[in-house]
Amino acid sequence: MTTAAATAGGRTTKAKPATMAQALGRALRDSMAEDSTVHVLGEDVGTLGGVFRITDGLAKEFGDDRCTDTPLAEAGILGAAVGMAMYGLRPVVEMQFDAFAYPAFEQLMSHVAKMRNRTGGAMPLPITVRVPYGGGIGGVEHHSDSSEAYYMATPGLHVVTPATVEDAYGLLRASIASDDPVVFLEPKRLYWSKADWSPEAPAAVESIGRAVVRRSGRSATLITYGPSLPVCMEAAEAAVAEGWDLEVVDLRSLVPFDDETVAASVRRTGRAVVVHESPGFGGPGGEIAARITERCFHHLEAPVLRVAGFDIPYPPPMLERHHLPGVDRVLDAVARLQWEADS
Amino acid sequence: MTVQELPGAAAYRPTPPPAWKPITDPAPLLPDPEPYRVLGTDAVADADPELLLRLHAELVRGRRYNAQATALTKQGRLAVYPSSTGQEACEVAAALVLEERDWLFPSYRDTLAAVARGLDPVEALTLLRGDRHTGYDPREHRIAPLCTPLATQLPHAVGLAHAARLKGDDVVALAMVGDGGTSEGDFHEALNFAAVWKAPVVFLVQNNGFAISVPLAKQTAAPSLAHKAVGYGMPGRLVDGNDAAAVHQVLGDAVARARRGEGPTLVEAVTYRMDAHTNADDATRYRVDSEVEAWKAHDPVRLLERELLERGLLDETGVERAKEAAERMAAALRDRMNADPELAPMDLFAHVYAEQTDQLRAQAAALRAELDAEQDHDEHGTEAGR
């Protein structure tokens, strides 16, 4: 999962531990340095550097006009970004928290997602909307939502979410470079996750929309993304003791959805569990399970199972550990994959 | 230690909050107590006769355009038409105050403004015909797509004007909204952003009395819609929206102000929607005839025409000429709209993303197969019938 060293122009640079937050900040910085049309705007992104410090230093390096503290109004921020993109800029909007992005929904649904389509391709909007999402950081009410189902149900948007430090950089660079609007979901409980990663030679992701197999296995496939990837990796290691060799697929983007990688894995293993924090009912897992069934029915040894957040409003932080899918729940699901059929 | 025991407690006296100072002096921002007028006042002497004649020709054309578009709904050639009959002065003036490089942000009721700016009426009407959401390239004409979700185009105008200013371009954005739209959150956010950023934007509110059926009194308790500007720190201007010369002057001043880098202006034009909300609406359910009659006596075309005739700038021949030009426009529009638009079902998938996803490719192939089967069926069906 991590690269100990990366090669840049034939020269080997030492990789040092870096956090996902640092990689995201570096991606913003490099995008702004390379392309003068990239503008960052949002609440507290300037002087403060964002409440998660992702934009730290950008206003100082590029000036207030390139990294702008806006009035506190999410629809206004995204609406203004639409106008800026109409004029040829490439805005990167920061929504402070998942649940604070809801006031911007009308702009996102009615304009950002549709502008390319409703102008017959004449006016695409290259806007990246960064949204810190998910729980697990002890946030009080309205700070821990998993809102990906809303976004992925909206044609015209790309929905991208990194789970590793390297992907945080590569996927954000690719999202900003995309001529389509991207909702870039940042798993906030992984902001401080670390990996050996070389900012001098960061591997760029060439295009968004490809899943990756994080762990190869033969028994069953865990399909996941963002904050639940570490949970699945841990579960896969724990499963070895039970005699299961689990494959783990990191989707990296929910839209476009990589049917090919997912179906290929499930055809190999014959069993699948989808894992995410978002509530299960109407959540991404239902769509993914349906897609697997449509493509892999004759390879399946068991129904596709989902391990998801409960269908409840996000709980108070002192109770969130009961809500979030953890290693045990993933292993319980794996145990329910009708292994008796094999014996 | 109690408060009384704190050091210096004896000398302590209440003072104003230390950080407070007034941000903006509200007095110069306040609108006139009554809508500004030019026609029938002394101000008309300063008006450019050529401009007045141009406005007249456009008003006559605009009135005819509204009538023709409404007729097209009855003939089934438009799915729906939200008429701007009675509001032509606002529509036309908004178009004429802009330079070519400037941007117009119309709402769904403002196709006339787009047409007065030079857009082909057939392209302006595709949304309402139902064949294409936007019938023109917004960048080519610098006219944003007609916006249906109320007031959501206003922050776009602010962002575009802001971006132009950052690039050092001399571009002004004029955004149009109705009285009902001023209650939307996006109206508030757009005006606030515009004022904070000093963006070169002009907001034109056409107060036509009704948001579909809801009168202004149920929409706001503000002294006037123009007064709302003061809360944002921008000037509010109140103008007679049926006085084309006045609307042109007030909007022109606001555009010039924006161009000078002095920031946005909110203009409230007091006007009246002579027709129902759309052809599908019944205005008799919520307003009385006497009100409509009073506004008929204050018709924007008549107001300007009378002024021009009285001042000898226009004669009956000139009036006829303007009418004939409008008739020609209407006849051409009718003929062109009577042709069925060409539909391209496969284009449904063409502009969702820059690059089609695997899923959309598969869905496009499925639709292609359906279309082929339909065509096959039609051809063979015809042959079998012979």
The residue with greater pLDDT, B20 or A220, is: A220
B363 in contact with A, Cβ within 8 Å: no
Closest CA to B97 of B205, B206, B255, B204: B255
The pLDDT value recorded for residue A11 is: 42
B357 in contact with A, Cβ within 8 Å: yes
Would you say residue A184 lies in a domain?
yes
Distance CA B350, CA B368 (A): 13
Whether residue A256 is preceded by a cis peptide bond, meaning omega within 30 degrees of 0, is yes
The residue with greater pLDDT, A236 or B6, is: A236
The pLDDT value recorded for residue B16 is: 83
Examine the domain organization and report whether A24 and A141 are in the same domain. Answer: yes
pLDDT band for A200, please (50, 70, 90 cuts): confident
First to last CA, chain A: 34
Give the CA-trace dihedral at B186, B189, B190, B194, to 10 degrees.
180
Distance CA A332, CA A328 (A): 6
If one counts every other C-beta atom within 10 angstroms of the C-beta of residue A254, the result is: 26
The residue with greater pLDDT, A198 or B40, is: B40
- Evaluate the CA torsion angle A215, A219, A223, A225 in order and state its sign: negative
If one counts every other C-beta atom within 10 angstroms of the C-beta of residue B4, the result is: 8
Would you say residue A204 lies in a domain?
no
Closest CA to A81 of B198, B137, B155: B155
Examine the domain organization and report whether A163 and A278 are in the same domain. Answer: no
Examine the domain organization and report whether A185 and A220 are in the same domain. Answer: no
Distance CA B330, CA B324 (A): 10
Chosen from B23, B127, B353 to mutate, greatest number of chain A CBs within 10 A: B353
Distance CA B103, CA B139 (A): 9
Axis crossing angle, helix B244-259 with helix B300-310, rounded to the nearest 10: 100
Would you say residue A61 lies in a domain?
yes
State the pairing for strand pair A5-8/A11-14: antiparallel
Domain boundary among A148, A170, A197: A197
Q: Nearest C-alpha of chain A: how many angstroms from B358?
A: 8
- Evaluate the CA torsion angle A91, A94, A98, A101 in order and state its sign: negative
Residue A283 has pLDDT above 60, yes or no: yes
State the pairing for strand pair A212-215/A38-42: unpaired
Residue A144 has pLDDT above 70, yes or no: yes
Of B139, B155, B352, the CB nearest to A117: B352
Residue A56 has pLDDT above 80, yes or no: yes
Long-range contact set of residues A1-5: C-beta below 8 Å, sequence gap at least 24: A1/A164, A1/A195, A1/A214, A1/A233, A2/A164, A2/A165, A2/A166, A2/A195, A2/A196, A2/A197, A3/A166, A3/A196, A3/A197, A3/A198, A3/A203, A4/A196, A5/A198
Chosen from B150, B154, B162, B198 to mutate, greatest number of chain A CBs within 10 A: B162
CB under 8 Å to B237, separation ≥6 — which residues? B31, B32, B36, B226, B229, B250, B253, B254, B265, B266, B267, B268
Distance CA A33, CA B186 (A): 32
Residue pair B296/B303 in contact (Cβ under 8 Å)? The answer is no
Whether residue B190 and residue A110 make contact (CB cut-off 8 A), yes or no, is: no
Catalytic residues of B: 273, 277, 286
Residue pair A211/A226 in contact (Cβ under 8 Å)? The answer is no
A39 is catalytic: no
DSSP collapsed to 3 states, chain B:
CCHHHCCCHHHCCCCCCCCCCCCCCCHHHCCCCCCECCCCCHHHHHCCHHHHHHHHHHHHHHHHHHHHHHHHHHCCCCCCCCCCCCCHHHHHHHHHCCCCCCEEECECCCHHHHHHCCCCHHHHCHHHHCCCCCCCCHHHHCECCCECCCCCCHHHHHHHHHHHHHCCCCCCEEEEEECHHHHCHHHHHHHHHHHHHCCCEEEEEEECCEECCEEHHHCCCCCCCCCHHHHHCCCEEEEECCCHHHHHHHHHHHHHHHHCCCCCEEEEEECCCCCCCCCCCCHHHCCCHHHHHHHHCCCHHHHHHHHHHHCCCCCHHHHHHHHHHHHHHHHHHHHHHCCCCCCCHHHHHCCCCCCCCHHHHHHHHHHHHHHHHHHHHHHHHHHHHC
Distance CA A251, CA A292 (A): 14
Would you say residue A227 lies in a domain?
yes
Would you say residue A60 lies in a domain?
yes
The pLDDT value recorded for residue A198 is: 82
Examine the domain organization and report whether A55 and A188 are in the same domain. Answer: yes
Distance CA A303, CA A297 (A): 9
What residues in B contact A106, CB-CB < 8 Å? 149, 152, 186
Examine the domain organization and report whether A239 and A119 are in the same domain. Answer: no
Examine the domain organization and report whether A175 and A243 are in the same domain. Answer: no
Q: What is the mean pLDDT of residues A238-248?
A: 97
Per-residue pLDDT tens over the stretch B93-142: 999 999 999 999 999 999 999 999 999 999 999 999 999 999 999 999 99
Would you say residue A169 lies in a domain?
yes
Of B137, B193, B352, the CB nearest to A155: B352
Per-residue pLDDT tens over the stretch A15-38: 789 999 999 999 999 999 999 999
Regarding an ipTM greater than 0.85, the answer is yes
What residues in B contact A91, CB-CB < 8 Å? 159
Whether residue A76 and residue B145 make contact (CB cut-off 8 A), yes or no, is: no
DSSP label at A101? G
Q: What's the CATH number where A62 sits?
A: 3.40.50.970
Domain boundary among A197, A230, A245: A197
pLDDT band for A6, please (50, 70, 90 cuts): very low
Q: Angle at the Cα of A98 (from A94 to A101), degrees rounded to 5?
A: 60
What residues in A contact B155, CB-CB < 8 Å? 75-76, 78-80, 82-83, 107
For the domain made up of B27-337, the CATH class stated in words is alpha beta
The pLDDT value recorded for residue B4 is: 75
Q: Determine the residue of chain B that is closest to A79 in CA distance.
A: B155
Containing structural domain, residue A130: 16-197
Examine the domain organization and report whether A179 and A252 are in the same domain. Answer: no
Whether residue B192 and residue A117 make contact (CB cut-off 8 A), yes or no, is: no
Examine the domain organization and report whether A33 and A172 are in the same domain. Answer: yes
Distance CA B127, CA B81 (A): 10
Question: Which residue in the list A39, A111, A142, A143 is annotated as catalytic?
Answer: A143
Sole residue written with tokens 């840049």? A8
Examine the domain organization and report whether A169 and A22 are in the same domain. Answer: yes
Whether residue A119 and residue B173 make contact (CB cut-off 8 A), yes or no, is: no
First to last CA, chain B: 107
Structural domain count, chain A: 2
Per-residue pLDDT tens over the stretch A70-103: 999 999 999 999 999 999 999 999 999 999 999 9
- Evaluate the CA torsion angle B1, B7, B13, B18 in order and state its sign: negative
Q: In the numeric block, which tokens belong to residue A55? A: 């934009």
Would you say residue A203 lies in a domain?
no
Distance CA B63, CA B328 (A): 13
Q: Determine the residue of chain A that is closest to B101 in CA distance.
A: A87
The residue with greater pLDDT, A13 or A232, is: A232
Sole residue written with tokens 């449509």? A294
Q: What is the mean pLDDT of residues A307-328?
A: 97
Structural domain boundaries in chain B: 27-337, 345-380
Per-residue pLDDT tens over the stretch A258-279: 999 999 999 999 999 999 999 9
B23 in contact with A, Cβ within 8 Å: no
The pLDDT value recorded for residue A207 is: 77
Q: Nearest C-alpha of chain A: how many angstroms from B162?
A: 7
Where chain B has pLDDT below 50, the residues are: 384-386
Distance CA A214, CA A249 (A): 6
Q: In the numeric block, which tokens belong to residue A208? A: 């968004």
Examine the domain organization and report whether A43 and A155 are in the same domain. Answer: yes
Examine the domain organization and report whether A257 and A174 are in the same domain. Answer: no
The pLDDT value recorded for residue B352 is: 97
The pLDDT value recorded for residue B382 is: 58
State the pairing for strand pair A220-224/A38-42: unpaired
Examine the domain organization and report whether A144 and A223 are in the same domain. Answer: no
Q: In the numeric block, which tokens belong to residue B139? A: 């960048």
State the pairing for strand pair A246-250/A212-215: antiparallel
Q: In the numeric block, which tokens belong to residue B241? A: 């929206």
Distance CA B37, CA B40 (A): 8
Whether residue B156 and residue A76 make contact (CB cut-off 8 A), yes or no, is: no
